[in-house]
Amino acid sequence: MKFGVIVFPGSNCDHDCYHAAKHVFGHEASYVWHKETELKGLDCVIVPGGFSYGDYLRAGAVAKNSPVMEEVVRFASGGGLVIGICNGFQVLTEAGLLPGALMKNRDLKFICEDITLRVENDSSPFTSCYEEGEVVSMPIANADGNYYADQETLKMIEGEGRVAFRYSTPAGLITPEANPNGSVGNIAGVFNKEKNVLGLMPHPERAIEPELGPTGGLGVFESIIDIIS
């Protein structure tokens, strides 16, 4: 299968995503510069982390008006798999592909640490290789990871099973202490209605090689590869 990794000025996790797809999982991967207007032959689009356009104005705000984003929206509308990681999640909410918004972390700090997440829904193209309720570890690295949605939106997301991951204790409990950044409902990742778009703040692409730490991100890539192959 073929992954495409979108590159904005200021993206800095694009190489990690490319490395994951190509070298760790042995699939085809290519970079897609943000000025491109075609997404030909791709099975999955990765919108990577970083600081697109320096996060000026708001994280992800300027990137959403990049030429390639129109094509990403079209790709997603046609059922294509799109995953936004960290800044990529922010870009996808700004672009309207995912509900809610990412705000400044509760404690105003950039947080870079391994955290634990509970898998909330294992029936999606991104989570089918996990078990519902499974606790996995991945790193977070962000200053604007505080997920916000108003009550009505939240009710819809919860009702439609659109929460992919929640910050939890290692035992899988959803507590305020396990919430690193103030995200509403401890939400770390959400799907669109059709579940072919996922956005998450933790970095699955940095959690796939045991030499480097936790491997909780393996399931995300395995699930994508499983459904496409």
Partner 1 sequence: MKAKVHVTLRSGVLDPQGKAVHGSLSRAGYDFIKDIRIGKEIAIEMDDLPREEAEAKLTEICEKLLANTVMENFTIEIE
Tell me how many residues contact partner 1 (CB under 8 A). Answer: 22
Q: Is 112 a catalytic residue?
A: no
Token couple for 56: 């000026």
Q: Could you tell me the two tokens for 90? A: 């922010």
The answer to whether 9 contacts partner 1 (rule: CB under 8 A) is no
**Site for partner 1, residues 10 to 69, rule: CB under 8 A:** 57-58, 61-62, 65
CA-CA distance, 12 to 131, in Å (whole number)? 30
94 binds partner 1 per the rule CB under 8 A: yes
185 binds partner 1 (CB under 8 A): no
Q: Mapping DSSP to helix (H, G, I), strand (E, B) and coil, where does residue 107 land?
A: coil
Least gap, CB of 107 to partner 1 (angstroms): 7
Give the x-and-dash track for 142-181 against partner 1 (CB under 8 A): ----x-xxx--x----------------------------
86 is catalytic: yes
Query: Which residue's CB is nearer to partner 1, number 65 or number 169?
Result: 65
In this chain, which of 9, 10, 104, 122 binds partner 1, going by CB under 8 A? 104
Backbone angles phi, psi at 74, to 5 degrees: -65, -45
Dihedral (Cα; 80, 214, 146, 112), 10-degree rounding: -130
From the list 86, 94, 120, 129, the catalytic residue is: 86
> C-beta of 18: minimal distance to partner 1 in Å?
29
CB-based contact 106:67 (threshold 8 Å): no
**How far apart, in Å, are the Cα atoms of 4 and each of 40, 104, 189?**
9, 29, 21
Owner of token pair 């918004």: 101
Instruction: Note if 15 is an active site residue.
Output: no
Residue of 105, 124, 179, 192 that binds partner 1 (CB under 8 A): 105
Q: With contact defined as beta carbons under 8 Å apart, do 69 and 59 qualify?
A: no
Count other C-beta atoms under 10 Å from residue 180's C-beta. Answer: 22
Please provide residue 72's backbone torsions phi and psi, each rounded to the nearest 5 degrees.
-65, -40
**Closest separation in Å from C-beta 195 to partner 1:** 20
Shortest Å, Cβ 94 to partner 1: 7
| Sign of the CA dihedral running 204, 205, 210, 212 | negative
CB of 65 to partner 1, least distance (A): 6
Question: Closer CB to partner 1, residue 12 or residue 153?
Answer: 153
Give the residue numbers marked as catalytic. Answer: 86, 203, 205
Write out the residues near partner 1 by the rule CB under 8 A. Answer: 57-58, 61-62, 65, 93-94, 99-101, 103-108, 146, 148-150, 153, 182
